[in-house]
Homo-oligomer: A and B are copies of this chain.
Amino acid sequence: MNVLIVHAHPEPQSFTTALRDLAVETLQGLGHQVQQSDLYAMNWNPVASAADFTERANPEYLVYALEQREGVKSDRLAADIRGELDKLLWADLLILNFPLYWFSVPAILKGWIDRVLVSGICYGGKRFYDQGGLAGKKALVSLTLGGREHMFGEGAIHGPLEDMLRPLLRGTLAYVGLEVLPPFVAWHVPYISDAARGDFLRAYQARLQGLEQDAALEFPRLEQFDERLYPRTHPL
């Protein structure tokens, strides 16, 4: 497999970074090719703007997704976006590796999503969910958080973690056609012992070693909906 790891943590010595390093080592050890995008180290610009196009289809009024579509066709995407897009298209597996900030990705990673998952390639028209532009590739989210495991789940104070991750797992990764594997989660990381962190590292390594057998999460398929995207059971 070709694997792209997109990593976003402001502290190079962090446990989240150790997960990234372990993934590189483990996946290479299994014979996979690995590329990385260390967003903090790259000083990645997360702000979607008019500057993302070397020339504009409509210089008077910016509709970002439309400019992406034109930019893809006419090779007018900014170089930093094009570079990341090429890595993404090369990859069979995308790993997003980050600390949970506000039950979501850090802004620098949100800006990778906003700018790199371009309309016209990753999605567009009726190409989304199982018909998305990245269909055939897989995605894994590996994240660290401060909360304890019992604070998540049905009836727990924050509800199921998967529900909090819905815009990422379903609205982003599944939307562009990726087969989304169950997230790897390291709980309560800033507060646990080195031994407990070691347990998470071993669990992550075992997970990475068995990745090709992992069953993907279930998301909508376009065949369940009609031409206007109403559910096929809809009375209309």
Q: Which residues of A contact B (CB under 8 A)?
A: 10-11, 13-14, 40, 46-50, 61-66, 101-108, 110-111, 113-114, 117, 129, 146, 148, 150-151, 155-159, 163-168, 170-172, 175, 190, 220, 224-225, 228-231, 233
Instruction: Say yes or no: B164 contacts A164, CB within 8 Å.
Output: no
Q: What is the CA–CA distance of A103 and B169 in the complex, to the nearest angstrom?
A: 11
Total copies of this chain within the assembly: 2
Q: What is the CA–CA distance of A11 and B48 in the complex, to the nearest angstrom?
A: 11
Give the distance to chain B from A63, nearest Cβ to Cβ, in Å.
6
Give the distance to chain B from A143, nearest Cβ to Cβ, in Å.
13
Instruction: Say yes or no: A231 contacts B107, CB within 8 Å.
Output: no
Instruction: Say yes or no: A150 contacts B107, CB within 8 Å.
Output: no
Instruction: Say yes or no: B46 contacts A40, CB within 8 Å.
Output: no
User: Can you name 24 A-B pairs with beta carbons within 8 Å?
Assistant: A10-B48, A11-B61, A11-B64, A40-B47, A40-B49, A46-B46, A46-B47, A46-B107, A46-B108, A48-B101, A102-B167, A104-B110, A104-B167, A104-B172, A105-B110, A107-B113, A110-B110, A110-B111, A151-B229, A155-B231, A158-B170, A158-B171, A158-B220, A164-B166
Instruction: Say yes or no: A102 contacts B108, CB within 8 Å.
Output: no
Q: What is the CA–CA distance of A165 and B117 in the complex, to the nearest angstrom?
A: 20
Contact of A11 among B40, B63, B105, B146 (CB under 8 A): B63
8 tightest A-B contacts by CB?
A: A103-B171, A107-B111, A103-B167, A46-B107, A107-B110, A11-B62, A104-B167, A110-B110
Q: Which residue of B lies closest to A39 (CB)?
A: B47
Q: Which residue of B lies closest to A167 (CB)?
A: B103
Instruction: Say yes or no: A231 contacts B156, CB within 8 Å.
Output: yes
Chain B residues in 8 Å Cβ range of A151? 229
Contact of A166 among B50, B114, B166 (CB under 8 A): B166
Give the distance to chain B from A20, nearest Cβ to Cβ, in Å.
16
Give the distance to chain B from A188, nearest Cβ to Cβ, in Å.
12
Q: What is the CA–CA distance of A107 and B116 in the complex, to the nearest angstrom?
A: 12
Q: What would 19 more interface pairs be, CB under 8 Å, given A10-B50, A103-B166?
A: A10-B48, A11-B64, A14-B62, A40-B47, A65-B146, A102-B110, A102-B167, A103-B167, A103-B170, A103-B172, A104-B110, A107-B107, A107-B108, A107-B114, A108-B111, A148-B229, A158-B220, A164-B170, A166-B166
